């Protein structure tokens, strides 16, 4: 099988870590360090706005685009919650035309990767965006926001510091090995860092350097990769049997799938929340996909029983075909599922295998083509043999 | 038991002609293949396959021009990637990937059409019905 880029997943990890060029230290916790940096960028007129996770009330958090510097106090960019995939939000902002004033965007690696997929799908533009990301310790389920967040944070940051995996994390984060951002201009190294006290900021692109020029930071050569990153990668790989094991092909089949999605209420929230499930009118919500009475009757005659609402597996398998090549394993779909179906784990597992067919890692590079939009003349020769 | 149904998506420019040729030559091919003419194998979206399954098909055969011969130059190359992805997904879901077959049949290849269609019918017969809802 041809591999368009000739890189394996491991090579990809090495490749992107070679990205970091310079760095500086700030003797402040990450959110404070970011607020300071963003305030300076706004003061100097280098950015006109900031897109980041913000606290919008007691127990409530959402993404916000902020243009009033005074409101920067509300941002909590490294708080481990993901109310929406930010890639999808930025696509909403830039779908029709690029933003005109430079904006600093702070998002997690999988959100950045989702955004890059959306750029390839012509759903977003990157012009005038300064990307700030961080080595990501994962996020907690969104319901934690109203339920013991403060208690869980202590354990969470302890794990991030040592490169561990916290039990409370979303399943998709427990197995995510792409937690070092690619394509960011500026990266905070949260994993392995003592985030209560200080922050290390890496500058990964010339654009990043240009934005920071004239601010009071002294850049030095970036140090070697922190050991904690390696530890986190290993610990996450170890979680895979636990998260993915339940979806072995021999356990699935029609019977297994019917059982897995047996309590699906057909709300399609998983698709709505998914960054790379982007059609504005969904094929699976089209009227032509409703069974009409005559079809129902035939079905009943043929099968003797019918599950209602119909079309559950049709939707799930169809969505898998549509998104697996671009799925970034962010876990949004599981987090929003009202009946706790582990949708993201199934999707991420399949994403790994279909992307692997083409040596592709969704969103690692905004320039790369999505494998299904291109081809090689000589490949997949088992077809038609 | 009634024979499981197979839906065949045949490209207008090559494979549909090939099927015609098989008919003209009175070659035997299975009666349980329902053919749908499409303009190109590249027109076959994954939903078409799923839709066929949902409407009761147990197998889907997609036939297009040989690589290099697509009337639209690259439809069959794109189909090849798309259908491979689809088969991989089915396999991972524990649904036999052999239920979907993409193959090439040229306009003059009546015999090849009959051969592929018969093989597909045997495969699906062996696998039995698929019930997707
Ligand atoms: S999926 Fe990976 S990058 Fe995304 S939030 Fe979880 S750990 Fe971070
Ligand atoms: S399918 Fe789920 S895990 Fe994958 S990108 Fe969509 S929301 Fe994220
Ligand atoms: S969010 Fe859950 S219940 Fe709703 S459609 Fe998706 S799997 Fe079904
Ligand atoms: S026209 Fe026959 S495969 Fe494209």
Q: What is the mean pLDDT of residues A316-328?
A: 96
**Residue A75 and residue A62: Cα distance in Å, rounded?**
9
- CA A267 to CA A122: how far, in whole Å? 27
Pocket test for ligand 4, best of B65, B73, B77, B83 (most atoms within 8 A of CB): B65
Q: What local confidence, expressed as pLDDT, does residue A214 receive?
A: 87
CB of B70 shorter than 6 A to ligand 4: yes
Per the CB < 8 A criterion, the answer to whether A176 and A9 are in contact is no
Highest mean pLDDT: which range of A3-12, A182-191, A193-202, B15-24: A182-191
Dihedrals φ, ψ of A77, to 5°? Answer: -65, -25
Cβ neighbours, 10 Å, residue A140:
23
In this prediction, residues A305-323 reach a mean pLDDT of 89
User: Does residue A289 carry a pLDDT above 80?
Assistant: no
Of all protein residues, the one whose alpha carbon is nearest to atom 4 of ligand 1 is A110
Contact: B93, A349; criterion CB under 8 Å: no
Position B63 pLDDT exceeds 90:
yes
**Chain center to CA of B44:** 10
Rounded distance, CA A281 to CA B4, Å? 33
Peptide bond into B5 cis (omega under 30): no
Contacts of residues A242-246 at CB distance under 8 Å and 24 or more positions apart, as own/partner, are: A242/A174, A243/A171, A243/A172, A243/A174, A243/A175, A243/A342, A243/A345, A244/A175, A244/A345, A244/A348, A244/A349, A246/A342, A246/A345
Q: Do B67 and A371 lie within an 8 Å CB cutoff? A: no
Domains in chain B: boundaries: 6-127
pLDDT at position A2: 36
Mean pLDDT of chain A: 91
| pLDDT > 50? residue B16 | yes
- Mutation target for A interface from B11, B49, B52, B54: give the one with most A CBs within 10 A: B54
Q: Mind telling me how many Å the CA of B123 is from chain A's nearest CA?
A: 16
What pLDDT is stored for residue A37 in this prediction? 97
Asked if this assembly's ipTM is beyond 0.90, the reply is yes
CB pairs under 8 A between A and B: 103
Q: In A, which residues are within 8 Å of B65 by CB distance?
A: none
Q: What percent of chain A has pLDDT over 90?
A: 76
Nearest bound ligand to the CA of residue A141: 1
CB contact (8 A) between residue A350 and residue B92: yes
pTM tops 0.95, yes or no: no
CB proximity list for A156: less than 8 A, separation 6 or greater: A80, A137, A140, A166, A168, A169
pLDDT digits (tens, 9 = 90+) for A157-206: 999 999 999 888 999 999 999 999 999 999 999 999 988 889 999 999 99
CA distances from B23 to A101, B117, B119 (A): 65, 12, 17
How far, in Å, is the centroid of ligand 1 from the Cα of A239? 14
* E strand or H helix that includes residue A230: helix A227-244
Tokens of A293: 């009475």
Is 3.40.50.960 the CATH classification of the domain at B6-127? yes
pLDDT of residue A90: 98
């Amino acid at each position: 099988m041809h591999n368009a880029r000739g890189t394996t997943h491991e090579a990809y990890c090495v490749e992107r870590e070679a990205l970091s060029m310079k760095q500086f230290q700030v003797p402040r916790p990450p959110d404070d360090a970011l607020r300071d940096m963003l305030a300076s960028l706004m003061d100097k007129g280098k950015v006109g706005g900031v897109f980041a996770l913000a606290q919008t009330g007691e127990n409530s958090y959402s993404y916000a685009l902020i243009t009033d510097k005074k409101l920067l106090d509300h941002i909590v960019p490294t708080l481990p919650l993901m109310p929406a995939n930010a890639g999808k939000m930025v696509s909403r902002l830039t779908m029709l035309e690029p933003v005109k004033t430079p904006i600093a965007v702070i998002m997690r690696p999988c959100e950045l990767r989702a955004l890059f997929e959306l750029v390839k799908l012509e759903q977003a533009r990157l012009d005038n965006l300064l990307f700030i990301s961080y080595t990501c310790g994962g996020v907690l389920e969104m319901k934690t926001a109203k339920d013991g967040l403060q208690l869980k944070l202590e354990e969470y940051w302890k794990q991030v510091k040592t490169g561990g995996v916290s039990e409370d994390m979303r399943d998709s984060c427990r197995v995510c090995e792409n937690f070092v951002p690619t394509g960011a201009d500026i990266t905070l190294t949260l994993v392995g860092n003592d985030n209560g006290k200080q922050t290390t900021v890496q500058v990964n692109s010339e654009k990043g350097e240009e934005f920071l020029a004239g601010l009071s930071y002294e850049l030095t050569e970036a140090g070697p990769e922190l050991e904690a990153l390696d530890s986190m990668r290993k610990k996450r790989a170890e979680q895979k049997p636990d998260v993915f094991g339940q979806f072995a092909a021999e356990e699935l089949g029609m019977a297994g799938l019917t059982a897995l999605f047996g309590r699906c209420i057909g709300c399609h929230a998983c698709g709505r929340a998914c960054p790379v499930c982007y059609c504005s009118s969904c094929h699976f919500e089209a009227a032509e996909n409703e069974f009409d009475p005559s079809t129902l009757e035939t079905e009943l005659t043929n099968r003797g029983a019918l599950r209602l609402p119909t079309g559950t597996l049709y939707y799930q398998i169809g969505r898998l075909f549509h998104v697996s090549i671009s799925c970034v394993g962010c876990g949004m779909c599981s987090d929003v599922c009202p009946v706790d179906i582990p949708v993201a784990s199934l999707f991420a597992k399949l994403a790994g295998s279909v992307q692997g067919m083409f040596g592709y890692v969704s969103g690692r590079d905004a320039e790369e083509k999505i494998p299904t939009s291109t081809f090689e003349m000589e490949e997949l020769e088992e077809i038609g043999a | 038991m009634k024979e499981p149904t197979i839906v065949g998506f045949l490209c207008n420019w090559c494979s549909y002609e090939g099927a015609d040729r098989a008919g003209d030559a009175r070659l035997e091919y299975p009666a349980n293949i329902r053919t749908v003419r499409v303009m190109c194998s590249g027109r076959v979206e994954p939903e078409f396959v799923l839709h066929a399954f949902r409407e009761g098909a147990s197998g889907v055969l997609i036939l297009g021009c040989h690589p290099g011969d697509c009337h639209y130059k690259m439809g069959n190359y794109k189909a090849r990637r798309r259908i491979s992805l689809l088969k991989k997904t089915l396999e991972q879901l524990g649904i036999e990937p052999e239920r979907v077959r993409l193959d090439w049949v040229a306009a003059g290849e009546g015999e090849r059409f009959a051969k592929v269609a018969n093989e597909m019918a045997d495969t699906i017969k062996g696998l039995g019905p698929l019930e997707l809802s």
